[in-house]
Amino acid sequence: MRNPGKAQAGGTILVAGGAGFIGSHLCAALLDAGANVTCIDNMQTALPSNLPRLAGRDRFTFIEADITQPLPDAITADPARWTHIYNLACAASPPLYQADPEHTMLTNVVGTNQLLRLAEQAGARFLLTSTSEVYGDPEVHPQPEDYRGNVSCTGPRACYDEGKRAAETLTFDYARMNRADVRVARIFNTYGPQMRMDDGRVVSNLIVQALEGAKLTIYGSGAQTRSFCYVADTVDALIRLMDSEMVQPLPVNIGNQNEITILELVTAMEAVAGRSLDVTYHDLPQDDPQRRRPDITRARNVLGWEPTTPLAAGLRHTYDWFAGELTATAPLSAQRVA
């Protein structure tokens, strides 16, 4: 991972969603670089054990609050101190973001808008973490940033997909109106330590099932593809994007171009687990994308970045971390969302 530039290393940085999976890695990397980091998180889907890892560190402040509500005084007082604002706040896995679709939409629209207003007041650079879900079930492969997507705005995934699209719209409008200096990352599938066990995403699902000795759940035929990026690579890209200079802000895909089927992922898991794993097939959820692979030409050109962690190594780190969590903690069921 490249170190952040001087502005971030010496900066005072707000990370919304900083207790979440990617957010907690980002906070740690920014602290490592010397930044003052304030994390605002509503703890809706954050893994609670991520916080103690950060809370003991110098220059780290945690504020429990929901960005759909008016921002707390501790954030809005003295806005000029903020040099950078990262917005990673939103439930990101379908079962969690679909539990309260109104809240998911408002997190993306009202929450993002409040943070943009703060960036405007602060003169801070603002980075939105958007998602490959803005491409929906894509009909173009791989997906470049100018692909407009294939999203159902009426379906059960829309609260997230359309919410993120609307968050991008707001962000680019602030730039167009010269209200804020913005960056937008479209993050593709990411995996690694510090994910929730019950996150509902495929890598965490399969690892937990393997560790529990259960059959691995495959939705559909398992022939649908994903491209999995290790979280350290993703965080490296986010920090570079925040540091990057652009004549005019454009969205940047952040992901791994190594596209594999879900069944190939199972094979890679078997190598890590050191044994063969049984699978069981379930119906594909509505609007589940069939293929997903980023075109990262822009990230290569603008950020000088591409993923460097091989799948086998990333899966090994992740598997070992989950195994450690399972032995360290009480029964797995105690960690599940009620």
Which residues lie below 8 Å from residue 260, measured CB to CB, with a gap of 6+? Answer: 225, 226, 227, 228, 268, 311
141 near a second copy, judged by CB under 8 A = no
Tell me the per-residue interface mask from 248 to 277 with a second copy, x by CB under 8 A, - otherwise.
--xx--------------------------
Task: Kindly state the tokens that stand for 80.
Answer: 């000029």
Q: Is the Cβ of residue 155 or residue 222 nearer to a second copy in the bound state? A: 155
The answer to whether residue 246 forms part of the interface with a second copy (CB under 8 A) is no
Cβ 62 to a second copy, closest distance in Å?
Answer: 28
Q: Using only the alpha carbons of the chain, give its radius of gyration.
A: 19
| Binding region for a second copy (CB under 8 A) out of 38-46, 80-88, 145-153, 239-247 | 145-153
* CA separation for the pair 40, 21 (Å, rounded): 14
Q: How far is CA 50 from CA 21, 68, 82, 101, 111, in A?
A: 8, 22, 23, 25, 22
**Residues 295 to 314 in contact with a second copy, rule: CB under 8 A:** none
169 binds a second copy (CB under 8 A): yes
Instruction: Let me know: does 34 contact 247? Beta carbons within 8 Å.
Output: no
What are 53's two structure tokens?
């890892």
CB 177, min distance to a second copy, A: 7
18 binds a second copy (CB under 8 A): no
**Beta carbons of 186 and 145 less than 8 angstroms apart:** yes
Q: Are 126 and 119 in contact (CB under 8 A)?
A: yes
Active site annotation includes 160 = yes
What is the rounded distance in angstroms from the CA atom of residue 205 to the CA atom of residue 212?
A: 11
Catalytic residue among 86, 97, 135, 160: 160
Per residue in 226-241, is it b (16+ CB within 10 Å) or e — as a string? bbbbbbbbbbbbbbbb
How would you classify the pairing of strands 279-282 and 60-64? unpaired
Residue from 34, 79, 149, 222 in contact with a second copy (CB under 8 A) = 149
| Stretch of 33-41, 173-181, 187-195, 228-236 lying at the interface with a second copy (CB under 8 A) | 173-181
Among 73, 102, 245, 283, binds a second copy (CB under 8 A): 102
State which residue, 29 or 91, has the beta carbon closest to a second copy: 91
Burial class (CB in 10 A: 0-12, 13-18, 19+), 334: exposed
Closest CB to a second copy among 43 and 250?
Answer: 250
Q: Which stretch binds a second copy (CB under 8 A): 19-27, 50-58, 103-111, 192-200?
A: 103-111
| 291 belongs to the binding site for a second copy (CB under 8 A) | no
154 binds a second copy (CB under 8 A): yes
Of 133 and 236, the one with the shorter C-beta distance to a second copy is 133
Under 8 Å CB-to-CB from 271, ≥6 apart: which residues?
A: 312
For a second copy, the binding residue among 28, 30, 109, 238 (CB under 8 A) is 109
Give the span between the Cα atoms of 338 and 325, in whole angstroms.
Answer: 19
- Is-contact 207 192, C-beta < 8 A? no
Answer yes or no whether residue 197 interacts with a second copy by CB under 8 A: no
Q: In the complex with a second copy, which residue's Cβ is closer, 68 or 256?
A: 68
Q: Which is nearer to a second copy, 152 or 258 (CB)?
A: 152
Residue 227 is a binding residue for a second copy (CB under 8 A): no
- The residues binding a second copy (CB under 8 A) are 101-102, 105-106, 109-110, 113, 134, 136, 148-156, 158-159, 162-163, 165-166, 168-170, 172-174, 176-177, 184, 250-251
What are the residue numbers of the active site?
160
